[in-house]
Structure 1
Amino acid sequence: MTADTPVRPVRTSPLHTWGETFASLPGGLRVRELPFLTQLTLRVTPGSPAARAVEKHLGHALPGACRAHLDADVKALWLGPDEWLLVAPADRAEELTAGLRAAIGDEFATVTDTSAQRTVLSLTGDLVPDILAHGCALDLVPRGAGAGACHTTLLAQAGVTLVVREEGPHSVWLLVRSSFAAYLAAWLVDACVEYGDGTAHGEHGGGT
């Protein structure tokens, strides 16, 4: 007799069923989910020994207000005066957390794995600024939305962290709570209707 092999649950992202719907959006907007990215919340006083230790470990400075450092494997997004979100490829949370905590040592700072809290939507294309304008109060014309801009704001009444990856903005990341991801995806589909033939509207079970 052999012991039963435990069955591990299948890991699924909040928007794993939305690929076909996203593929049917107008050509000026491409939407895809970036699931399972490592996301660590860092709380540290800017300029402190702990902050300097973190920066040395990361190999770059922590960005200032409303900015993101994107030119690195571990990206840093400013969330508040003493708070950043560190975003890295999947399955790096344990290694990155351990390395940061070792670098910080006895200095005061916290590193918390919050990877499961949010998923990331990547939006690219010429329609990005027009679509965002339907539900976001931020001024996202090029002069206010240069590459590296990072804002925690509301999009269609859902809290998001909006990161501009290409000026325009023609490429952005939207970091949204997992529980709001389907709502935001449905809103994006609905906001696209006037820009295409409407075939994407209402086709997904999660849409409105």
Structure 2
Amino acid sequence: MVERTAVLERRRSPLQRMARELETGSSANAALREVPFLAQIGLRVVADTPSAAALEAALSGPLPEGVGDVTGLPGDRHVLWLAPDEFLLITPDEADGGDDPVRITDELTAALGELPGQVVDLSANRTTLELRGPRAQEVLDKSCRLDLDPVAFPVGSALVTLLGTVGVVLWRVTPDTWRIMPRSSFATHTAQWLLDGMREFV
């Protein structure tokens, strides 16, 4: 356990060096921060099959049923719908009481057994930016072609889209809180893009 704690303490997130820049570029109108090290497990199964049922039993909750759906699970876990046979399980950082992504992956893989499907640890593939505040939607409206009106994109929805030219997962957590998940290699670009869009609201 001591060794595992030491490993967690030595992690470096994609935007760690930008922490100060994110802070100074934020305001009460629109605040940006990184939420690093969330466990992200990719799930590939066809809905309404024995494979899906096996994963749902292991997760203690249902997979999302349609485009944009997000289901909440015990332990502050969430599953996002990405495609008809593709889902993303997100859990809190292991250092904050969340699950070890390797253990989750092993458990879900074991639950599938010989059934068709795939479970892959994607935790290092993306980081998470949280944009919060009463002008957050306006910041996103500048570079996202989706209709982000609460009627079209309600709380608890998540979609794969483009932010500028970067592919992201966009998740509306509360009316004024968004989670933006770019691939780690595009994290700096995405953060700088958002900061630029926030300037008029500082």
Q: Which residue of 1 aligns with 2:23?
A: 23
Q: Which AA in structure 2 matches 1:30?
A: A
Are 2:194 and 1:188 equivalent residues in the alignment? yes
Query: Percent identity of the aligned residues?
Result: 36
User: Residue 82 of structure 2 contacts residue 88 of structure 2 at CA under 8 Å; is this kept in 1?
Assistant: yes
2:166 to 158, 163, 170: 158
Q: Which residue of 1 aligns with 2:89?
A: 86
Shift of 1:20: 1.5
- Bigger helix fraction: 2
* Structure 1 residues 46-98: Cα deviation after superposition (integer angstroms, max 9, x where no partner): 01101011111111111122111245432101110100011112342111111
Q: Which residue of 1 aligns with 2:35?
A: 34
User: Residue 38 of structure 2 contacts residue 90 of structure 2 at CA under 8 Å; is this kept in 1?
Assistant: yes
Task: Provide the rounded CA distance (Å) in 2 between the counterparts of 1:71 and 1:96.
Answer: 14
Q: Measured at CA, do residues 157 and 104 of structure 1 come closer, stay the same or move farther in structure 2, by a change above 3 Å? A: same
**Secondary structure in structure 2 of the residue aligned to 1:111:** strand
Aligned-residue CA RMSD (Å):
1.8
Structure 1 unpaired stretches of 5+: 1-6, 197-208
How many matched pairs? 188
Shift of 1:107: 1.0
Instruction: Tell me the TM-score normalized by structure 2.
Output: 0.87
- 1:129-208 alignment runs, 5 A limit: 129-167=137-175, 170-196=176-202
Q: Measured at CA, do residues 83 and 8 of structure 1 come closer, stay the same or move farther in structure 2, by a change above 3 Å? A: closer
Task: Provide the rounded CA distance (Å) in 2 between the counterparts of 1:43 and 1:82.
Answer: 5
Structure 2 unpaired stretches of 5+: 1-6, 95-99
User: Residue 45 of structure 2 contacts residue 52 of structure 2 at CA under 8 Å; is this kept in 1?
Assistant: yes
Q: Which structure: larger Rg?
A: 1
Instruction: Tell me the TM-score normalized by structure 1.
Output: 0.85
